[in-house]
Structure 1
Amino acid sequence: MLVVVINGGDTAEPGTALLIAAAPVGKGRLIDASSVLPALAAVPPSALTGTPAATVIELADPLDPQTVLTRIRATATAEGPLSLYIAGQLQLDRRQRLLHLALARTTPTTMRYTALPWHWLAGELAIRRPDTTTVVVDLVADAQAWQHIAAQGLALGHGVRLYGRIAPASPRRGTAAPAYLKACAAIWRSGARPDRATLHEQAAARVGADDALLLTIGTPPPAGVPAARAAVAADPHPAILAAAQAGRHAEAAAAAAAWEQQELRTHGPGSVQAIHWLEVRADLARLARDPGLSCELWMAAAEARLTRRQAPDDPDVEGAVDRAHHQWEQIRDLPRARSLAPALVRLRQGVPGRQRGALQVLQRRLESLHAGQA
């Protein structure tokens, strides 16, 4: 369902609010996400956007990730402030280790085709001016997604304010309710109009933390900081590296994925700009101690460079394959190492590199893996 509400008549720059309530139909549903929409619909649109004039769009239990992406992409082009409210559940793609927002038809086996990758959202928001975007979430995470978030956090990249609550799925409690967003709606319906940080504190206090994760990411900096941070939006690399070195690996990865998506839109697939950010993501996976993902991304970068007709002995191609090989040797998950080995062997056959016997070393370790040895 799509509902557009205009509260006009004001000359100030209008704001846009996109409400997404999504969860699988049937036994895979962990949260009754759409139950929050009546509460939010009863809130004046201006409260949702923080602006006198507002446009509000609802997506209730959407079926197709491309439909959601199209709607997010359209709202991301709005000039004024943008607020996204998301109620739903997060699941982890075990193969690529990427978070997804489950949609109505999502199942564990169809996730890659029926759920919305979280980094798609980050990529669409990356095009917006810093500090014009606020995302408020009320999410439940399945066991694998919760472990991923607990280790790496959740973020949407530079310039996006993120508030909300993420709770682990609990079979004992049954289907969860989006209590955090309902508390926000109740505060607004009382007539109060607190700023976003205060609203978050009040809503969180009403529902209680329990074992949930409360998010307050990207709040406005103290006076004097914006100019310095703006000098970093010119070159995002230092901020991304700093986040990774501080252990905020999910934030760093989301920012890099967002820049990659922007370069894909600007310069196209296979462009040197997009490949650069693919390689940044590969190195960030190394810093996050995820050698399987790092190996996979380095292989993708090497394949992309070869597709661009770069020579097998090009230093960038050799470097990508060498790094993929090195990361593969660090993998201790034997099934994961076996699954990546055939693609790596094919790459090594075409890009032997400058280390003599690299292909033979790879094949020997692969033989030991098939024999059940580490």
Structure 2
Amino acid sequence: MKKIKLKIDKDYKLPFILCAIIFSMSVLGFIVFSFGDLDYKCSGAMGILMHNYFIKNVALFYFLLGNSSMIFLVICVLVIIETIFYKKIPLKYNWMMWFIYLIIYAYWLYLKINGIITSKNLENDGTLGNFDFLVAPISHQIDAVVLFLFELIVVISTTYYMRFVMIKNKKIEIHAYWKDAVKMILIVDLTYFIVIILKQSTGRGEYFWTNFEDIIGKINWDSDHKYVKSVSWTKEFLDLANHGVNLDNLKAAIINNINKKGWGNYPYTKWWEINGNFSHNLQYWYPINMFIKPDMSTMPKGWDIINFPSGHVVTAFSFIGYGSMFLYNRDVKKSWIKNSFTIVWILHILMMMTMLVIGRVHWLTDVFFTAFLVPLMIIFTNYVFNKIEEKYLIRKNKKSQYISS
């Protein structure tokens, strides 16, 4: 049987070592916290830190940052399109590439601005924006603006490099950026596909919703348990008034959602348990729910939160694509730049994992599972891609030899 040899380029040694440490830590953590009620208790203990308003904002920022994978995938797509234009389209049609950039970035700009604006709706509708974090709309908007500026810097710098450096110096042909772009799209998409399947299979709720009354307030029902008489609001919830939130509007919205949507303590399930009945839940799956109109009243409470595994952790890992495309094995000679990027990337992953649990939007087993799933997908995708490329080159070489003979 042929043995598979794992070859690691010198530029990838530090990322590989640090990623291997996270992988090992995550496997161990996932196994340990799967026993008993350790996952529930330890995740809850970390969530206590949310009583600090500054930590709330940090947790919210990382949650928003976890939704930024879209801009990275867009850049990967643009790299591929740039390669096609460079090889196939005459230079006089360069304006078409600028037009593509304009359309894509205009849509991205619309989404970002709309996200910043709609965060103010928290007081009128407890389902929008940052309700899970109990952060004032102005704080949410500040976090969203900071994230927008960060993405804007990435967009401008990357666009400049692709349009005026890669093309002008023929680096796009020398370094074959498109290969890394294709790999990263495959890694992210394949991993998200697995994540989405597992999310919808289990329908696991998050800590916030399984402990709704401990975080928001004790619900006092009428004698028939049909309507809410009042809610004994918690100190954490009432603290929102100190940050400019109109609590009267928010209280009314929450009580309305308790009466109409059944808000309250959702059932807690472990990562391997199914919330409700699997076959019954299939009607709520995406994209099945696009073709039928399922009765939402029969959906198990908390199923739509689909907490396990974590898509945000996938996004945190995906940033290695920047290093793969623009730093590793490229013209960047200074190793400290590459090592600094790698260390920042690893710290970003660890911070994302930590803040998702502190923010009460994920359990420890959610983030640990994802943190060892992604490295496996990176290795698998790279191996398959390289094998396909190798077979293609062999076939191409044989064909050229046949023609020359």
TM bucket, shorter chain: under 0.3
* TM-score in terms of structure 1 length: 0.26
User: When you count strand as a share of all residues, which structure comes out higher?
Assistant: 1
- Which one has the largest radius of gyration? 2
* TM-score in terms of structure 2 length: 0.24
Q: Which has the higher contact order (CA 8 A, sep 6+)?
A: 2
